[in-house]
Chain A
Amino acid sequence: EAGVTQFPSHSVIEKGQTVTLRCDPISGHDNLYWYRRVMGKEIKFLLHFVKESKQDESGMPNNRFLAERTGGTYSTLKVQPAELEDSGVYFCASSHLLGGGDQAQYFGPGTRLTVL
């Protein structure tokens, strides 16, 4: 079974530009999450999809961030326009929708975003 994949692995952009990150969850996982780790701090939750619907987007920092999951498969996270403080590692995770409460989230390798 293929794991969670993310693209690109690295992105370097200038302030004011737009960047789109992509996440492909594990096949059959309806839950999809975005997290980010900024400047060596804690990994912070951004939002949660159940299939194509946004279940919880309480962690999205501002309206420069737009996440989509059309068709309930892969997801994109767009940052427009990017600011210096957006630099960090963006992680995607997925899990089954049903099952026991002890289900774990499976993480992708992350996208390292650097805004200059």
Chain B
Amino acid sequence: AQTVTQSQPEMSVQEAETVTLSCTYDTSESNYYLFWYKQPPSRQMILVIRQEAYKQQNATENRFSVNFQKAAKSFSLKISDSQLGDTAMYFCAVRRGNAGNMLTFGGGTRLMVKP
């Protein structure tokens, strides 16, 4: 079984500042993938960033980057230069290796970006 824990139910950050959202997970798999999804108030959930567990290099997508600590089973998301449009629920998820497997989600972190 896989579990994902997001220890920060709510966070806030000032516009243009940097914020880090925490995620820890547990899995017995050796081959797995990690994802961060974002769900803005309009409700459509979109993929923010993904990381392959066997890759040591941290994934980066523009202002979004991860700090992947495999031994600690930690997968935090850093948002640089926060923008008002980053206000959303953020979900961390893990999936076993095969592409067709289900996602296991954390409880989510509600992020508010303040002007």
Binding site for B on A (CB under 8 A): 3, 31, 33, 35, 40-45, 48, 50, 55-56, 59, 91, 93, 95-110
Give the residue name and chain of the A residue nearest to B4 (CB).
Answer: A42
Please tell me if B62 contacts chain A, counting CB pairs below 8 Å: no
Contact A100:B43 (CB < 8 A) given known A42-B105, A42-B107: no
Pairwise interchain contact B50-A104, C-beta atoms closer than 8 A = yes
Which size class do B's interface residues fall under? 20 to 34
Pairwise interchain contact B35-A56, C-beta atoms closer than 8 A = no
CB A27 to nearest CB in B, in angstroms, measures 17
CB A55 to nearest CB in B, in angstroms, measures 7
Pairwise interchain contact A107-B99, C-beta atoms closer than 8 A = no
CB B79 to nearest CB in A, in angstroms, measures 19
Pairwise interchain contact A45-B102, C-beta atoms closer than 8 A = yes
Task: Give the one of B31, B33, B106 with max A CB within 10 A.
Answer: B33
Give the residue name and chain of the B residue nearest to A44 (CB).
Answer: B105
> How far is A3 from B106 in the complex, measured between Cα atoms in Å?
24
Supply 21 A–B pairs (Cβ within 8 Å), ascending by A. Answer: A33-B102, A35-B103, A42-B4, A43-B103, A43-B105, A95-B99, A95-B100, A99-B99, A101-B52, A101-B97, A102-B50, A102-B52, A102-B99, A103-B99, A104-B50, A105-B103, A106-B47, A107-B37, A107-B45, A110-B43, A110-B45
Task: Give the one of B46, B99, B103 with max A CB within 10 A.
Answer: B99
Contact A43:B91 (CB < 8 A) given known A104-B47, A107-B46: yes
Contact A109:B103 (CB < 8 A) given known A102-B33, A102-B50: no
Please tell me if B80 contacts chain A, counting CB pairs below 8 Å: no
In order of increasing CB-CB distance, the 4 nearest A-B pairs are: A107-B45, A45-B102, A43-B105, A103-B99
- Chain B residue numbers with a CB within 8 Å of A41 are 107
Pairwise interchain contact A97-B102, C-beta atoms closer than 8 A = no
Q: Return the CB mask of B45-57 against A: 1 if under 8 Å, else 0.
A: 1110010100000
Identify which of residues 23-54 in chain B touch chain A, using a CB-to-CB cut-off of 8 Å: 31, 33, 35, 37, 42-47, 50, 52
